[in-house]
Amino acid sequence: MIQPVLGFIATIAFAIIYNVPKQALIPAGIIGAGALMIRHWAEQFGLNPVAGVFMGAFFVSVSSEVLARIQKLPGTVFIVSGILMLVPGMSALNTMRAFVQADYATGIANATQTLLMAGGVAAGLVLAGALVRMDRRKQRVAQGQTDD
């Protein structure tokens, strides 16, 4: 039960570092806590950590775009701090530890895991973003530019 509270606090702390507007602080914190819980549950459920961060990033992106429309703020405002909950920090540290100990096999394994998790975060963002933005993109393409 302590995990979501920690995620909430950490996300709000990052939001303050990035100077996120005051009205977006609490929603951003909830998004961060949600992302952390999804990642946690996915792992408890026996899913690969990559799948966990992918689902977390997907959640962050979708809920951020929805909130961005409600509060009329840029989506980035909600995404940047929430996504930091999913950064594979421990996995990256373990990679460096293994390499420094000249345990290259473990190092490569950890590095692969770290890269896959980073890719999972990116993929979650991309997929959700692409789905949410489809209508807007169509508008912009149709509008075009009058050249002269």
Partner 1 sequence: MDTNFHLPTIVKICLKAGALMLKNGAETARVEETIERIGRSCGAHSVYSFVTPTGIFISVTADEGHLTRMYRIGEGLQTDLTKVARINSVSRQFESGKITVQQVWEQLLAIEKAEPEYPNWLRQIAAALSGGVFTLLFQGGMGDFLPGAFCAALSNYLMEVFDRRMPRFLAVFFAALAGTSLAMLTVSAGIGKNFYQISLGALIPLVPGLAITNAVRDLMANDLLSGVARSAEAMLTAFAIAVAVALVFALKIGGLLQ
The residue among 44 and 146 lying less far from partner 1, judged by its C-beta, is 146
14: contact with partner 1 by CB under 8 A: yes
117: contact with partner 1 by CB under 8 A: no
Cα–Cα distance for residue pair 120/122, rounded to 1 Å: 5
93: contact with partner 1 by CB under 8 A: yes
Report the alpha-carbon angle 85-133-123, nearest 5: 40
As measured in angstroms, the least distance from the Cβ of 15 to partner 1 is: 8
Do residues 95 and 114 touch, judged by C-beta distance below 8 A? yes
Among 50, 80, 110, 120, the residue binding partner 1 under the rule CB under 8 A is 80
55: contact with partner 1 by CB under 8 A: no
